[in-house]
Amino acid sequence: MNLLNSSIGKKLIMSLAGLFLVIYLILHLVINLLVLAPSAETFNKAAHFMGSNWLIRILEIVLFGGFLLHMIYGVIVSVQNWFARPVGYAKKPHSETSFFSKYMFHTAVIITIFLVLHLVDFYIKNKFLGDVADVVYSGKTYHDLASLVIARFQIKWVVILYVVSMLGLGIHLHHGFQSAFQTLGLNHPVYSPVIKGIGIVYTVLITIGFICIPVLVYFLK
């Protein structure tokens, strides 16, 4: 049997792509937190570097491919699971991660919708439409993305949408982080609790970190 076409193969690819996205979220959060700096210059220069460095541009393509793989294989695995269990269990097992596991597909839909809106509002406007004002630092021109972000996060419904989406991301990460390592075969009585602990800390920090940005901008900027 072709490994890539098997259920295990699909879960393996989805897990690897998911772990790549987990690493990217750290970098993305660090850059985004710079919008809270007293001066917009720090964020705008960091955003310019991310958008102009050739290595980062290549990683963007890899990231986009990783997200598509994760999303596509996630849908395939979910559909296969539904067809394999067309009738729900008479009594569903309760576990510590049952809530997070139950809503993996739902949170994935929320995250996907958020990403589409996020890309249209920031990436496409900046890269293709030129619908972003410019600012000059030391004689060099940069896109003033900081002002765009701050303007968006001063709109209440945008802040609410962002917070809800990040809560969905947190639920998705909580189960996905541990599930990915289990799929990769890293399931051990000694190591698994450590991985679980790291996953919880990672999820909490990432979720709170992203939520803090729009909330602080809305109330303080």
Q: How many CB atoms lie within 10 A of CB 26?
A: 13
CA 135 vs CA 35, 132, 141, 144, 198: distances in Å = 15, 10, 6, 6, 40
Range of the domain at 37: 3-86+95-220
Residues in the chain: 221
CATH number, residue 132 = 1.20.1300.10
Q: Residue 69 corresponds to which amino acid?
A: L
Give the count of domains, the chain.
1
Residue 1's pLDDT is 47
Q: Where are the alpha helices (DSSP H) in the chain?
A: 7-33, 40-52, 54-84, 98-102, 104-118, 145-152, 156-183, 191-220
Q: pLDDT 10s digit of each residue in the chain, 221 long?
A: 454 555 666 666 766 767 777 888 898 899 999 999 999 999 999 988 887 888 777 877 777 777 777 677 677 766 766 666 655 444 444 444 456 667 777 788 888 888 888 878 777 766 666 678 899 999 999 989 999 999 999 999 999 999 999 999 998 888 777 777 776 666 667 777 888 888 899 999 999 999 999 999 999 87
Where is 136: in which H helix or E strand?
strand 134-137
Residue 207's pLDDT is 95
CA distance 24 to 55: 14
Which residues are registered as beta bridge partners of 25? none
Residue 184's pLDDT is 66
pLDDT digit string (tens) for 56-83?
778 777 777 777 776 776 777 667 666 6
Phi, psi of 134 (to 5 degrees): -105, 155
